[in-house]
C-alpha cells in the first residue's frame, strides 16, 4: 500500500451467493464491526437483484455498493442485460468489469472488457477491472505478456483523466476460489508490472495514482502480508467476503 499517492480499497465480491433477503443481516454484522475504518474505502459487490437491499443495509456507513457486471450498451434491445445507468440509479457506485468468471463462462474478450470499461465510466460508475493469467499461461511463462495485453486492451481509448480513477484488480485465475494464493512477492511483481503498463500508456503521475488490488483466495491469514507490498493497494475478496466476520478481519489488515 502507498496511501500517500493512492487510495486503499477493500472490495468484496459475493459472486452468485446470498439472497436479497440475506443482505440485512450481513449489513448489520458488517456495520457493527466496520465502524472504525478510516484508512480504506470499502465496497461490497453484490448480485444486481441485491443492490437495493445492500444500499439500504449500508446506508450511513462508509461501505459502498458495487455490481459484478454491466452491459457494454447504454440502453436498448438487450434482453437480460443491465446498463450502467440502471445500476447507478439503483444505488451502485462501483462495478466489477472483466472478472475471469465472465471471461471464462461468458466469452468476454479483452475487447468486450474495453467496451464495458467505457460503458461503466460513461455511466458514472467506478470500474474495478480484473486481469489475470491462467495456470496454463503461468506454466508457459507468459503471465506478464497476458497481463500486458489485458491491461493495454482494457484501457484502449480511455482518456487520462478517467484512467486515474479506474481500479485494477490482479486476479490470477489459478488462485481464484482454489485456496491457492500468489506469494506476496509474485503478486507484487505482477502488480508492479501493471503499474508500469499504465505508466507507458499515460504517465508516471497517473501510474502512481492508480489503485491496484490483489484478488484470489485472499483471507484473514494472508491479507496483511499481501497488503504490505508497495504496489498492492487493497484486495478483491470472494469467498472470505461472504462471512462478515472474516471480511472485517481483511478490512482490519488494510486499515493499519
Ligand atoms: P476468491 O475470489 O477470494 O474466492 O478467490 C476472488 C474473486 O474472484 O474476486
Position of cell 486515474?
164
10-residue block means of pLDDT along the chain (256 residues)?
91 98 95 80 97 96 96 98 98 98 97 98 98 96 97 98 96 89 93 98 97 96 96 97 95 87
pLDDT of residue 43: 97
Buried b (16+ CB within 10 A) or exposed e, 162-171: ebbebbbbbb
Is the shortest distance between the CB of 219 and ligand 1 below 6 Å? no
Q: 190 with 144: CB under 8 angstroms?
A: yes
pLDDT of residue 179: 83
**All domains of the chain in start order, with CATH:** 9-254 (3.20.20.70)
Q: What is the pTM of this model?
A: 0.97
Q: What is the CA radius of gyration of the chain?
A: 17
| 218 CA from centroid of ligand 1 (Å) | 7
| 177 CA from centroid of ligand 1 (Å) | 5
Q: 12 with 235: CB under 8 angstroms?
A: no
pLDDT of residue 164: 92
Q: 121 with 87: CB under 8 angstroms?
A: no
Is the shortest distance between the CB of 124 and ligand 1 below 6 Å? no
Is the shortest distance between the CB of 239 and ligand 1 below 6 Å? yes
Q: Is 171 a catalytic residue?
A: yes
Amino acid at each position: 500500500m502507498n496511501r500517500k499517492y493512492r487510495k486503499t480499497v477493500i472490495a468484496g465480491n459475493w459472486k452468485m451467493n446470498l439472497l436479497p433477503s440475506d443482505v440485512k443481516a450481513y449489513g448489520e454484522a458488517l456495520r457493527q464491526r466496520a465502524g472504525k475504518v478510516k484508512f480504506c474505502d470499502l465496497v461490497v459487490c453484490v448480485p444486481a437483484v441485491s443492490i437495493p437491499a445492500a444500499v439500504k443495509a449500508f446506508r450511513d456507513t462508509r461501505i459502498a455498493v458495487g455490481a459484478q457486471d454491466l452491459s457494454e450498451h447504454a440502453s436498448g434491445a438487450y434482453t437480460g442485460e443491465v446498463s450502467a445507468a440502471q445500476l447507478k440509479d439503483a444505488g451502485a457506485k462501483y462495478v466489477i468489469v472483466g472478472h475471469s468468471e465472465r471471461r471464462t463462462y461468458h466469452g468476454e474478450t479483452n475487447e468486450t472488457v474495453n467496451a464495458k470499461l467505457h460503458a461503466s465510466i460513461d455511466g458514472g460508475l467506478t470500474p474495478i477491472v480484473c486481469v489475470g493469467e491462467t495456470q496454463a499461461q503461468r506454466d508457459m511463462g507468459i503471465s506478464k505478456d497476458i497481463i500486458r495485453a489485458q491491461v493495454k486492451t482494457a484501457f484502449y481509448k480511455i482518456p487520462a483523466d478517467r484512467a486515474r480513477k479506474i481500479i485494477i484488480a490482479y486476479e490470477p485465475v489459478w488462485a481464484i476460489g482454489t485456496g491457492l494464493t500468489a506469494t506476496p512477492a509474485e503478486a507484487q511483481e505482477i502488480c508492479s508490472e501493471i503499474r508500469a503498463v499504465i505508466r507507458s500508456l499515460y504517465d508516471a503521475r497517473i501510474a502512481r495514482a492508480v489503485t491496484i488490488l490483489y484478488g484470489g483466495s485472499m483471507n484473514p491469514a494472508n491479507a496483511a502480508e499481501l497488503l504490505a507490498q508497495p504496489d498492492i493497494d487493497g484486495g478483491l475478496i470472494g469467498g472470505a467476503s461472504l462471512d462478515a466476520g472474516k471480511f472485517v478481519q481483511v478490512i482490519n489488515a488494510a486499515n493499519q
